[in-house]
Amino acid sequence: MQQGPCLMHCYCSPQTYVLAHLCLGYAIACVIYLLLTKSLGTPFKDSLTEAQMRIKRHSVRKRGYAFLMSSILSAALLAWWKPLSDS
């Protein structure tokens, strides 16, 4: 077991240690990706017609709503289930 990040007597399981590193690696990769692609432009988006842009906006709205609802439901599930609590 690895020593925890916050307290000397706190220890993390190997699974927690691996998942924490995977999440941190993913977050760093996302930041680097944003920096590398910042100046690339959007040639595909620039080529869309107005009708295609309307379809895209409609789809973005629907998918955004679906993500919002799934986030609210997952927060409610985690509040009820409490998978990370000690008891």
**pTM of the model as a whole:** 0.60
pLDDT at 73: 97
Note down pLDDT in tens along the chain; length 87 residues. Answer: 555 566 566 677 788 888 889 999 999 999 999 999 999 999 999 999 999 999 999 999 999 999 999 999 999 998 998 877 765
CB 2 within 8 A of CB 17: yes
Cα 86 from chain centre: 25
Coil vs helix vs strand at 85: coil
pLDDT at 16: 83
For the chain, the domains span 1-40, 41-87
